[in-house]
Amino acid sequence: MKELEERILKDGFVIGGDILRVDSFINGQIDTGLLRRICAELAKGWGPIDKVLTVETSGIAYALGVAMALGDLPVLFAKKSKSKIVDPSNLYTAEVKSFTRGIVSTIAVDRNYLKKGEKVLIVDDFLAEGNASLGLIHLCEQAGASVQGVAVVIEKSFQGGRAKLESMGYRVVSGANISGFQNGQVLFAD
Amino acid sequence: MKELEERILKDGFVIGGDILRVDSFINGQIDTGLLRRICAELAKGWGPIDKVLTVETSGIAYALGVAMALGDLPVLFAKKSKSKIVDPSNLYTAEVKSFTRGIVSTIAVDRNYLKKGEKVLIVDDFLAEGNASLGLIHLCEQAGASVQGVAVVIEKSFQGGRAKLESMGYRVVSGANISGFQNGQVLFAD
């Protein structure tokens, strides 16, 4: 998506060699108009979808945007920590290693909200190594829900997430596909 | 908002005497159509607004919905934990006690995204004792931004949040105003 690539070049910046910071418009402060246009793109080309699934925190806004673009589908977000108002015996859980934070956390969804046979689209802000998506797929497997694919705002395809997901048979779409960083500059695939 | 009150009576339930669980449609799984209608209501009656501010996690979807209803305004969400990709010297921070979790956490926003003179609308899913809103107001005070008011999906007015905020001069609007719980039943104001 040309608009997103241009915005990344204008307002994103690379730190530490492999982390792209886009929190002025994607995942700290959100440019709501841009979000609408990204989500309209990400929503294209899917068959029937019952539910959009993401993991807190920064994926939530994009999951909602895609769910709206697909006709106001329900959004489910996996949580990273346990609150006292959730019964832990009634959860599907998976372990996820965060690329940017470098820590392993447990993600969980209530078993009542993910059902056998449901067609699920996974949405997130970033796809790097694919760990968050694999965790969400694992939650769906436990429920018997059927993952239709993965839609992300920005992928860093050189970190292997897309290859891993495609080798498992999942369709992957992204708003911008970064093939690498060179001297602090962002390079896009194609 | 009658639709929301009816939905709370139908699908919400009270646990532990003072916690309302609505995660089947508000803040675990989101009913996207309902979110649209709630946010259209919450967006009414404000003067000029520059930015919508919330705190992760469950407020994000509603902040985005209200920002869309107000003409695709930017959304800023305060974060509860520090990621290695954010420079801690460049943050406004405030302490917030969570009503449901019973813990104190530090919330933070990047100083670049909250500016002197900006007209800010605070949006959240719940208003109980008002601690999250007070923390967000404190962030705005540090920036010199001007809080125009607080819009929440569900308030539990008997827990004092509204009274506290109104006594400070802020307009407060909610989708549903709960005046109390009686034998596990939800009572609405009016």
Whole-prediction pTM: 0.95
Mean pLDDT of B42-69: 97
pLDDT category, A85, cuts 50, 70, 90? low
**Span of A50-54, A82-86, B94-98 with lowest mean pLDDT:** A82-86
A86 pLDDT band, cuts 50/70/90, is low
CA A169-A62-A12 angle, to 5 degrees, is 100
The CA distance from A40 to B31, in Å, is 19
ipTM value of the model?
A: 0.94
What pLDDT is attached to residue A104?
Answer: 86
B85 has a pLDDT exceeding 60: no
Q: Using 50, 70 and 90 to split pLDDT, how confident is the model at B88?
A: confident
HEC-encoded secondary structure of chain A: CHHHHHHHHHHCEEECCCEEECCCCCCCEECHHHHHHHHHHHCCCCCCCCEEEEECCCCHHHHHHHHHHCCCCCEEEEECCCCCCCCHHHEEEEEEECCCCCCEEEEEEEHHHCCCCCEEEEEEEEECCCHHHHHHHHHHHHHCCEEEEEEEEEEEHHHCHHHHHHHCCCEEEEEEEEEEEECCEEEECC
The percent of residues above 90 in pLDDT, for chain A, comes to 85
Number of residues assigned to chain B: 190
Query: What residues of A are in the B interface, CB distance below 8 Å?
Result: 15-16, 19, 21, 23-24, 28-33, 35-36, 56-57, 60-61, 64-65, 67-68, 72-77, 79, 83-86, 100-102, 109-110, 112-113
pLDDT at A99 over 80: no
Q: Residue A87: its pLDDT value, please?
A: 67
Task: Summarize the confidence of residues A125-139 as an average pLDDT.
Answer: 96
Question: Smallest Cβ distance to A64: which of B30, B73, B102?
Answer: B30
- Contact list in A for residue B16 (CB cut-off 8 A) is 85
Q: Quote the pLDDT of residue B87.
A: 67
Residues of B with CB under 8 A from a CB of A: 15-16, 19, 21, 23-24, 28-33, 35-36, 56-57, 60-61, 64-65, 67-68, 72-77, 79, 83-86, 100-102, 109-110, 112-113
The dihedral region occupied by B117, where left means phi > 0, alpha psi between -120 and 50, and beta the remainder, is left
Residues 6+ apart with CB under 8 A from B31: A74, B7, B25
Give residue-wise pLDDT tens across range B141-166.
999 999 999 999 999 999 999 999 99
- Could you tell me what percent of chain A has a pLDDT over 70? 95
Q: Give the model's confidence band at B89: pLDDT under 50 very low, under 70 low, under 90 confident, else very high.
A: confident
For residue A82, is pLDDT > 80? no
- CB atoms B64 and A68 under 8 Å: no
Please determine, for residue B61, whether its predicted confidence score (pLDDT) is greater than 90: yes
* pLDDT in the model for residue A16: 82
Shortest Cα distance from B190 to chain A (angstroms)? 28
- Position A17 scores a pLDDT of 77
- At B102 the pLDDT is 75
Q: What is the mean pLDDT of residues B36-52?
A: 98
Q: Provide, as residue numbers in chain A, all residues whose Cβ is less than 8 Å from the Cβ of B83.
A: 100-101
Question: Angle at CA A122, nearest 5°, toward A27 and A86?
Answer: 80
In this complex, which of B21, B32, B68 lies closest to A74 when CB atoms are compared?
A: B32
Predicted confidence (pLDDT) at residue A101 exceeds the cutoff of 80: no
Number of CB atoms found within 10 A of residue B1's CB = 17
Interchain pair A60, B60: CB under 8 A: yes
The confidence band for A190, taking pLDDT boundaries of 50, 70 and 90, is: confident
With contacts defined as CB-CB under 8 Å, which chain A residues touch B60?
57, 60-61
Is the distance from CB of A96 to CB of A131 less than 8 angstroms?
A: yes
Structure tokens at B30: 């989101």
